[in-house]
Structure 1
């Protein structure tokens, strides 16, 4: 339980335990195990499903499977698909940029010359060449910061190809959000005239 403004709210763990308890009660009340012994339980399930003349039980087996699936859904968190993980990583990086770096929407609105899109292109391009760019940079053949990087060198922080693409995606997201805010402000401004 967590305390919120004088009221006690259930924690996610408490909610899960409550859900599990509900499923367990439903299963045990619907399917008693006989005398409570392992032998009684085995007999109960054997009689329930293995008796050939029991047509109702075959229909009931499908219901049991549905209950088991519901119980598994409670116990098993969904496995994210690769595309969901990639999108979640881009959104998490955008959140990190706002919360950790302070690049809020208000701050981003000052970058009205497509600097965020330009920075995204630097990271995306860097991800393509990755280690080769690093080797050439270390050898002094290439500059340590891309020539078209729009900001101070201290903000250029390349890493591995995937991470660079996540940063590029977050910067593109920030630029799209900025464009949408600018379009909305222009629409609202023209409506006031």
Structure 2
């Protein structure tokens, strides 16, 4: 089964991808994580991508495609954060045909609230926020390290990212509807309820 998760920034699609990966024992492929690793490692690709990411702009197709150039697994994976444009979707179709595209939908208002509340652990990378707050303010439940707010977790940047999403990624809805593989779930529900809803949709196409 080859699955694509769509969703606005902060929709929770990354969290859902990780939970589904464990439930299904699939490989989780996140272009966001791959990009952040490239930036952290200060690779040439990472340096190019960083300029776009810091402004809340989409990383160009050519860079993303280079990132995935090593190839996708043949089956049993969840693709998170790709495709983001029609060009990317067409490129993906040339490589492999997806079985289902799940759109984790949230309102812009919820997205903005989640953004300003999000905190990350400096040591283990755990993420906390509106839906999953830490037991103690600014302290990681798992390793007791300090939590911090990412520089791009602010209203100006998220509003810009939402605008870019609407312009460049929203057209994918019609693209995948025409292919007959699009479905939408409510991303504002409790996390575990969303997982179960996605699993039901996956079962329909197995």
TM-score normalised to structure 2 length: 0.25
Give the alignment's TM-score, normalised by structure 1.
0.26
Pick the structure with greater CA Rg.
Answer: 1
